[in-house]
Amino acid sequence: MQKKIVLTGGPSTGKTTIIEELMARDFMCMTEISREVTLNARKKGIEQLFLTKPLLFSELLLEGRINQFIEAEKINSDIIFFDRGIPDVHAYMNYISIDYPKTYVQKSNLYKYDYIFLMPPWEDIYITDNERYENFEQALAIHNHLERTYKKLNYNVIEVPFGTVSERADFILQNIK
């Protein structure tokens, strides 16, 4: 049976770097789609879709992450890693205190993952860029919302310790055996 594994955490915690490391080790990975949604909105003249139309942004993310989950089931691979999971969508909505449809939580309960690895905020590697506007204090708050959201959905959340990219990837792989 296929194992679906989420790497989650606030911005700039190393998720994408670890996903890239796992891909380099020939693991199947579903990449983060929020940058894609943000860049598509920019092409339509909306600079920060998450800030200007958070519900629309979240709807697009939810749809994209559900599509990734469904696509993963068609892939012949025992293990698939996801750069963020479906529950991240309502965790972020909780973070910005915006109401969202009950279907968000229903979808999170419908599409279940096997492992959740939470990347803690790490000030030494924290950077901002054009798609990542949060400061470090906001990243800490996001981390707390993510952890709470996954635990409320009855997931065992495994925190990934700081270390080199290789050490962090090894930690994850050792914990899914």
Domain count, the chain: 1
Query: Residue 169 and residue 20: Cα distance in Å, rounded?
Result: 10
Indicate if the alpha-carbon torsion angle 100, 102, 107, 109 is positive or negative: positive
pLDDT at 149: 97
Query: Residue 159 and residue 22: Cα distance in Å, rounded?
Result: 17
DSSP 28: E
pLDDT at 35: 76
Instruction: Please compute the mean of the pLDDT values over residues 26-55 and round it to a whole number.
Output: 80
pLDDT at 107: 97
Segments forming the whole domain that contains residue 87: 3-175
pLDDT tens-digit profile of 80-137?
999 999 999 999 999 988 898 999 999 999 999 999 999 998 777 656 555 455 677 8
Q: How many CB atoms lie under 10 A from the CB of residue 55?
A: 12
pLDDT at 50: 67
- pLDDT confidence bin for 13, thresholds 50/70/90: confident
φ and ψ of 71, to 5 deg: -60, -40
pLDDT tens-digit profile of 147-173?
999 999 999 999 999 999 999 999 999
Strand partners, 5: 81, 115
φ and ψ of 5, to 5 deg: -125, 125
Strands 3-9, 115-119: parallel, antiparallel or unpaired by DSSP? parallel
CATH (domain of 121): 3.40.50.300
Using alpha carbons, list the distances in angstroms from residue 30 to 86, 126, 145: 12, 23, 22
**Taking 70 as the threshold, does the pLDDT of residue 71 lie above it?**
yes
Query: Residue 107 and residue 101: Cα distance in Å, rounded?
Result: 11
**Taking 90 as the threshold, does the pLDDT of residue 58 lie above it?**
no
Instruction: Please compute the mean of the pLDDT values over residues 27-54 and round it to a whole number.
Output: 79
pLDDT at 12: 79
